[in-house]
């Protein structure tokens, strides 16, 4: 009937990353591969809890507030614990920074390795109880030469990250990863328990047709942002206006932006002077992925990956996506200066 038999040569994430490492020759120790294996395991573990959440009383609040002043959901706390335990046990980490923990964790000597992982264990908290897509975001630095692991190893520009990615828990679990050689997407085959390469070499279209902002904050927005949004909603000379898509989970909004193009924005405004998204574990990993996919990521006035953070939960404005769209928003910021 012309149907192809199923492939017997699947490319798993581990196989793919190992291949990448082989190409580095003897310099590669395999440590990053092992660390990424630990991260894959956390994603599978979180994914299965997300799927069961409504059945095993994992929805709702945990009863505590995190350092950002946000009420923690049970799944925020559980996902954080899963990641801390697994990353520590991997023996490959020296410093961990989590959205849900006020202080960085410096790993004790017994388990110490040479990587630092900054992470948002569960992104999109407000969407959890409605069954809308949520995710995990992570960024990885190598400790500085001679360091045994300290805050200095993570208070560095995003351009020094060696890898970054996210896993989106949606109709399927999708892990999207960069190690600095482009961006690849993998889909969890739950029956195999493996992430399979399904989206090789993701490239963002140079211009999109979608904008993704929380326009409910419009009354607080500053003129460059208001003017930019007006320019795409009321375009000149017979062009079509952009479509609006805003999920409210950065992972899901960025995932769509990588695949379809367009622009995602969480600006600074009159109420949130530095914006909402956190530099280390939200803005940097997503900016790294976006640039590696051929797009741009800016605060409006500065390349995000060039920021040097001074504290671990610091925030910044974010505009990322298709190159031409992000260049437009930068132009609107230049006009008022
Ligand atoms: P988190 O759930 O990890 O605290 O992150 C929430 C973030 C991000 O996912 C999303 O882009 C943004 O908050 C949505 O904020 P608004 O609800 O203000 O639009
Ligand atoms: Mn939160
Ligand atoms: Mn988040
Ligand atoms: Mn979170």
Closest C-alpha among 51, 21, 26 to residue 36: 21
Out of 124, 137, 246, 317, give the residue to mutate to test ligand 1, the one with the largest number of ligand atoms within 8 Å of its CB. 124
- The predicted pLDDT at position 6 comes to 84
DSSP structural state of residue 324: H
Closest C-alpha among 140, 105, 120, 135 to residue 34: 140
In ligand 1, the atom with minimum distance to the C-alpha of 266 is 11
- The predicted pLDDT at position 25 comes to 66
DSSP structural state of residue 280: I
- The predicted pLDDT at position 55 comes to 85
Partners of 165 in the β-ladder: 138, 177
Q: From the CA of 316, how far away is ligand 2's center (Å)?
A: 15
Report the alpha-carbon distance of residue 198 to residue 200 in Å, rounded. Answer: 6
Burial annotation 203-226 (CB, 10 A radius, 16+ → b, else e): ebbebbebbbbeeebeeebeebbe
- Is the ipTM, as predicted for this complex, more than 0.90? yes
Of the listed ligands, the closest to the CA of 215 is 1
Q: How far, in Å, are 111, 179, 181, 227, 272 from residue 220 at the CA level?
A: 47, 37, 39, 13, 9
- The predicted pLDDT at position 56 comes to 85
Residue bearing the CA closest to ligand 1, atom 1: 123
Q: From the CA of 70, how far away is ligand 2's center (Å)?
A: 6
Q: From the CA of 61, how far away is ligand 4's center (Å)?
A: 13
- The predicted pLDDT at position 230 comes to 98
| Ligand 1 residue neighbourhood (C-beta within 6 Å) | 70, 99, 120, 123-126, 214, 248-250, 266, 276
Q: How far, in Å, are 85, 278, 297 from residue 159 at the CA level?
A: 27, 16, 12
Distance of CA 82 to the CA centre of its chain: 18
Place of tokens 């739950």: 190
The one-digit pLDDT tens for each residue of the chain (337 residues) are 678 888 889 999 999 988 877 776 666 678 999 999 999 999 999 999 999 888 888 888 999 999 989 999 999 999 999 999 999 999 999 999 999 999 999 999 999 999 999 999 999 989 998 999 999 999 999 999 999 999 999 999 999 999 999 999 999 999 999 999 999 999 999 999 999 999 999 999 999 999 999 999 999 999 999 999 999 999 998 899 999 999 999 999 999 999 999 999 999 999 999 999 999 999 999 999 999 999 999 999 999 999 999 999 999 999 999 999 999 999 999 985 5
Q: From the CA of 99, how far away is ligand 3's center (Å)?
A: 8
Strands (DSSP E) contained in the chain are 61-65, 71-73, 93-98, 105-106, 112-123, 134-142, 163-169, 173-178, 183-189, 194-199, 210-212, 243-244, 263-266, 296-298, 318-321
Strands 105-106 and 93-98: antiparallel
What tokens does 315 get? 């925030």
Q: From the CA of 87, how far away is ligand 3's center (Å)?
A: 19
15 CB-contact burial (10 Å; exposed 0-12 / middle 13-18 / buried 19+): middle
- Cβ neighbours of residue 145 closer than 8 Å, sequence gap 6 or more: none
């Amino acid at each position: 009937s012309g149907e192809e038999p199923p492939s017997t040569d699947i490319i798993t994430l581990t196989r793919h990353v190992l291949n990448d490492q082989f190409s580095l020759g003897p310099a590669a120790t395999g440590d990053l591969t092992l660390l990424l294996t630990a991260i894959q395991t956390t994603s599978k573990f979180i994914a299965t809890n997300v799927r069961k959440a409504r059945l095993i009383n994992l929805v709702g609040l945990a009863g505590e507030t995190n350092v950002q002043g946000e009420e923690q959901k049970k799944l925020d706390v559980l996902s954080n614990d899963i990641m801390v335990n697994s990353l520590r046990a991997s023996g490959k980490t020296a410093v961990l920074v989590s959205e849900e923990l006020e202080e960085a964790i410096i790993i004790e000597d017994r388990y110490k390795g040479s990587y630092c992982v900054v992470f948002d264990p569960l992104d999109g908290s407000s969407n959890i109880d409605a069954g809308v897509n949520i995710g995990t975001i992570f960024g990885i630095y190598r400790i500085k030469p001679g360091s045994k692991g300290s805050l200095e190893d993570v208070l560095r520009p995003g351009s020094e990250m060696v890898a970054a990615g996210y896993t989106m828990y949606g109709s399927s679990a999708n892990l999207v990863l960069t190690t600095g050689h482009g961006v690849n997407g993998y889909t969890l085959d739950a029956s195999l328990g493996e992430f399979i390469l399904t989206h090789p070499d993701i490239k963002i279209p140079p211009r999109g047709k979608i904008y993704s902002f929380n326009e409910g904050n419009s009354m607080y927005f500053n003129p460059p942002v208001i003017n930019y949004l007006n320019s795409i909603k009321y375009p000149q000379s017979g062009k079509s206006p952009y479509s609006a898509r805003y999920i409210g989970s950065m992972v899901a909004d960025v995932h769509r932006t990588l695949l379809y193009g367009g622009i995602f924005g969480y600006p600074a405004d009159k109420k949130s002077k530095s914006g909402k998204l956190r530099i280390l574990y939200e803005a940097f990993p997503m900016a790294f992925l976006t640039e590696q996919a051929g797009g741009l990521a800016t605060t409006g006035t500065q390349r995000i990956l060039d920021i040097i953070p001074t504290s671990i939960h610091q925030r910044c404005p974010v505009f990322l996506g298709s190159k031409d769209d992000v260049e437009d928003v930068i132009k609107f910021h230049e006009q008022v200066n």
